[in-house]
Each structure stands twice: as structure tokens, then as C-alpha cells.
Amino acid sequence: MNKEEFKAKANQTIDEVSAKINELKAKKESVKDEVKSQYREALDDLKEKKSEVEMKYADLEEATGEQWENVSDAFSSAADSFKEGFDKIKSLIAVVVLALIVASCGSPDKKKDATMGDVKEEMNDVVDASKEVVADKWDDLNREFEDLKADFESETREAEEKYNNLSDELQMELKDQKQNLDAQKAKLNEKISEFKAAANEEKEELKSEIDQLKRALDSSIAAFEREIEEK
């Protein structure tokens, strides 16, 4: 991904961050009193993360030359931190929803002659709500990884084009680095495929592996392109 493409993607991230903050503000008043303070603290923390993302984007706009790699990495890190904070608040909302449903099962206002079918229906509501929250989280990650895949496919394609424009002699000199790049890309694709097929309890570990592989690939691409430019 070149600088202009990265900036466009970063600008899109800023818009998404603002939209998510507004979404959470709208839900603030509907949160029950007993967890409102937790929600407020989490939201304030998320606002700070939003400011950090915006600050890193400003740095991105001004970055030149050798600064670019460090500044773009810092922006990506800030954006990831915001996403983690957003997921934390979504989990808090989910817990509240589930607690309210469970509490309603034992409410004294319920008819004493409630049937087993009534109880079963309410418990099904609990399960469905839980599944919906989990599904939303992993759907968001699946979309995120699809975007990530498109990004590194574009980045490696650009590096390959530069490599292919070298003389045969220079290509031979950089053959090992090119093969290493191909191997890292293949490994990352493999892990993304594993993530899509994995059970939910396995996804968190795979997400961590994918993040590490992507950072390693970004570093290798940057080093490979520097070597090409020096030839």
C-alpha cells in the first residue's frame, strides 16, 4: 500500500471511529444505573483513544521520508487500541442485556403459574442474545481481516512489480528476500483461512497470531523495497 492509499484508509478509520463514539453516546442513557458509571468510564477512555487516533493521523499527514514507517505503525497501533476499547464496551452492554433477561425470569411480577415453556422461551432469549453479541464481534473481525488481506495483497503486489523491473542479475541477488516475502504472505493467508474456519474459542489466539504475522510482513516489505531502491 503506498502513502496515499494508506492515508485514504486512515481517513476512513477516523470516520469509523467518530461513528462508533456517536453510536455509544446514543446508548448511554439506556444503560442501567448500576453499570452506568462503568459505561461512562469506558466511554471516556474510548474518547481518549479517539483523540490519540486523530493525533496520530495528524502526524501521518505531515510525515515524510524515513519518518513514514514509524508514524504509520503508530497510527495502526492507536487504531487497534481504539477497536479493543470499543469491543470492551460492547461486551459490557451484552452483559447488561443478559443480566436483565435472566433477572426477568425470577421477577416477582411474573405469574406464578408460568409454564416450563415460558421459562424455556426466556432462556432461549438469553442464549440468542449471547450468540448475537459473539457473532457480531467475529463478523467485525472477519471484515477487518478481509480488509487487511486486501491491503497486504496490494502491498506485496507493488513490491513484486518493483522486483520484476530489476535486471536478472539484481533479481538473483534478492531472490532469497523475495522467497521469504512469499512465504510470509502465504503463512498470513493460511492463518486468515484458519480463523474463518475456527471455533469461537480458538479465534482469539489466531487473531493474535495474525496481528503478529501482519506486522512481520509489513516490516519485511519495507526492508525489501529499501533494498530494491538501493540497487
Global pTM exceeds 0.85: no
Looking at residue 180, its pLDDT comes to 93
Query: Which is more confident, 221 or 24?
Result: 221
Nearest by Cα to 46 from 87, 85, 89: 85
Looking at residue 54, its pLDDT comes to 84
- pLDDT, one tens digit per residue, over 99-147 is 544 455 544 444 444 444 444 444 444 444 444 544 556 666 677 778 8
Instruction: Give the residue-averaged pLDDT of 197-215.
Output: 82
- pLDDT, one tens digit per residue, over 158-205 is 889 999 999 999 999 999 999 999 999 999 999 888 888 887 678 778
Q: In a 10 Å sphere around its CB, with 0-12 CB exposed, 13-18 middle and 19+ buried, how is residue 230 labelled?
A: exposed
Question: Which residue is it, cell 523475495?
Answer: 178
CATH architecture of 1-109: Up-down Bundle (1.20)
Query: Which is more confident, 210 or 140?
Result: 210
Answer for the pair 213, 184: CB distance below 8 angstroms, yes or no: yes
Report the C-alpha gap between 150 and 137 in whole angstroms.
20
Looking at residue 96, its pLDDT comes to 54
The ranges assigned to domains in the chain are 1-109, 111-231
Backbone angles phi, psi at 33, to 5 degrees: -55, -40
Looking at residue 68, its pLDDT comes to 81
The C-alpha cell that represents 51 in the structure block:
483523540
- Residue 2 gets the label, from left (phi > 0), alpha (psi -120 to 50) or beta, of beta
- pLDDT, one tens digit per residue, over 51-64 is 888 888 888 888 87
